[in-house]
Chains A and B, each alone.
Chain A
Amino acid sequence: MYTKKDVQKATKGNKKAIETILQAERANMYKIAYLYVKNQADALEIIQEAVYKAFVSIHTIRDHSHVSAWLKQIVIHAAIDYIRKYRKVIPLIDGQLENIADSSIDIDQQLDLYRLLDELDEKQKSIIILKYYEGYRDREIAEIIGCAEGTVKSTLHRTLLRLRKKIKKEDCANE
């Protein structure tokens, strides 16, 4: 837990207060980071970067009640930066990855939003996480990730459409 006074101290650069806030928010921060990379080592790297980013910009916080959302935003951007920076592309013969991916996923495995995240780009991931895990409104999501509200709506629409198609495909395969 942290108090309004901790936030005030933190915005003035008090390291102890900043750490108190970060430790209190660490579980939420980690879950978001983990959703982007789905492994502990990379998620911790993102947290490390997010801590630094939070430290250098915490003086910009004006509203105590926004700290949690602000930290989520920091983690999201740290995760996006991390994925872009360490974007690993494994050379495969053209088309092989898709073939392997399609054939190796057992049709009786449940295909859900959590798994679908792996197929989305950074921005689409952000929108799904903020909408369906954090429960933000479209306008709030647009503010957090810095895009138009229409982009959020269209991305959600396309992503859900994709999910429905996959579920339908799965159902057909099971019949």
Chain B
Amino acid sequence: MNKEIKHFQQKVEQITIPEQVLEETITNAMKHTPKKAHFPFKKSIASIMSAAILLASLIGSAHFSPVMASMLHQIPIVGSVLSYYDIGLNHIQPTSVGDTVTDNDISITVTDTYADYNRFVIGYTIDLSDKTEQEKAALQNDFCSTFKLTINNQVISNAQEDWHLEGDQLLGLITINEGLPESFTAELVFSEVLWTSGQWKFHLPVEQNNTIAVYQPDQTSENDDYQFTINEIRVTPSTIVVETALTTPLYNETLYDLAINHNDTQLELLEHTETKRLHLAPFDKDRIEATTSFAALEGLDELSIVPIIDQEQQSDLSLTIDLAPDNIIALEKERKAAYTEERIDFDTYVWKELKAEWSNYLEIDPARYQHASLTVFDHDFYSSFYQSLSKKETEYIDPTAFINKANEKEAYIIYKESDGTNHLYHIEENKKWEIVDHTTFNGKTIEELRRSYQHR
């Protein structure tokens, strides 16, 4: 065994350090830190305070209100009070499930699910009554489960996981922050929990009972250097999703975020994703587009949306959005058609499109090939392959592979650049995998794929 350990250490020592790019990464990352160190604004004091106040009032109410007591019983299911408390899930009506599966002496119970057009959450508990206090304390900081979640048989790749301990139970939450069909079947299969392998399988039919209100305010504000635009807002009982764009000076490397204020309260940020960052050299501008989701509050009538640039709220660019019913441009029923087909994530959609473009280009039967991650090849190959890709300034679709099912000795790797250029590598295994041909051909641009994905 010592030989293996020594070999391992040698291999780690041999990892190539990209000195210059690493130095620049650290320098750039430091540039994007706040002027002064403080706790991250993401989980704002305001939201924690409002959560704490709300919880305190709920606890008080529970002493005399059976309805409140019932509601309070549900709160721990959807997140921890301080670190992961999400006010957006507080006033929604989850669907009770209560299914328990036991394997290897570990019982998992899916307690509740909740779905609206912005979000799907699954709450579960794991019984820890046979664990020592020390083991439970360790889980508080570090719990890891391995699970596979599918929606209508499509694998969901971007599920988030939260947990906290409550007495003898671990309370877990799995969240998907994106639109889903009006009714669908989710299947959740845990393959490892508490460092124990097994199978805990849950079949979860889900019906949505909520509406989504869509606003397209198309409002813009600007100052000398920046222009801020709100393109669309989608409001559900649990979540507010805002689509925005920010124009900045060229190559400014702006760190962009967003805040929503409502009656002196800052809504809790759930997720912020930059969907695009373009350098518009002819116009001497950069353009950043982002999708940001926040936990919703009840009774929202007006929102103040503020861009955060390099960690500073820009109140002069703040825009106020009136959420009056008259301003709603679409409700759930009108958008339903876009979601009635089986929902797949964008990556999966793009890979299907890439497969079609690749098979049309070579005029071969795609059914003869198996889609796979590059990690199925030996490490040296996929590592050197990634390293051979020059660092892209613009967006590109990650390389993916199609392996010949008949012999598993031949495969294609394809990736796409923003302008639609596909890079196709023909590879073969002869003791080791190696590239035998490389060509490029044109396909749909990433923007075209994004549009066709949204309008399916």
Point out residues on A near B: beta carbons under 8 Å.
13, 15, 18-19, 22-23, 26-27, 30-31, 34-35, 38-41, 44, 47-48, 51-52, 55-59, 80, 84-85, 87-93, 96-97, 100-101, 103-106, 108-110, 112-115, 118, 121-123, 128-129, 132-133, 142, 145-148, 150-151, 154-155, 160, 163-164, 167
Contact = CB atoms under 8 A, between A and B. Distances in A.
A80 B7 CA distance: 24
Contacts, number: 186
Interface string B336-377: 000000001001100100000000000000000011110111
Interface pairs A-B: 4 shortest CB-CB = A146-B141, A51-B29, A113-B8, A147-B138
A92 B372 contact: yes
Interface stretch (B15-23, B53-61, B119-127): B15-23
B26 interface: yes
Interface stretch (B91-99, B151-159, B244-252, B326-334): B151-159
Interface SS, A side: helix
Nearest to B148: A89
A104 B429 contact: yes
Contacts of A59: 37
Contacts of B141: 146-147
A52 B28 CA distance: 11
Contacts of A22: 26, 30
26 contacts: A30-B15, A30-B17, A30-B18, A39-B387, A40-B18, A41-B391, A44-B21, A47-B22, A51-B33, A52-B32, A52-B33, A56-B34, A84-B160, A89-B148, A90-B157, A92-B371, A97-B372, A97-B373, A100-B372, A100-B403, A105-B378, A112-B4, A112-B8, A123-B144, A146-B138, A147-B138
Contacts of B1: 160, 164
Nearest to B344: A91
A39 B383 contact: yes
Nearest to A129: B12
A18 B161 CA distance: 31
A65 B142 CA distance: 25
B329 to A, nearest CB: 32
B348 A121 contact: no
A23 B30 CA distance: 11
A112 B206 CA distance: 44
B173 to A, nearest CB: 13
Contacts of A110: 7
Nearest to B375: A118
A104 B377 contact: yes
A114 B132 CA distance: 33
Nearest to B1: A160
A118 B376 CA distance: 10
Nearest to A101: B376
Contacts of B455: none
B27 interface: yes
A74 to B, nearest CB: 12
Given A47-B22, A104-B408, A132-B9, 8 more contacts: A27-B17, A84-B160, A97-B373, A100-B370, A100-B376, A106-B432, A133-B8, A146-B138
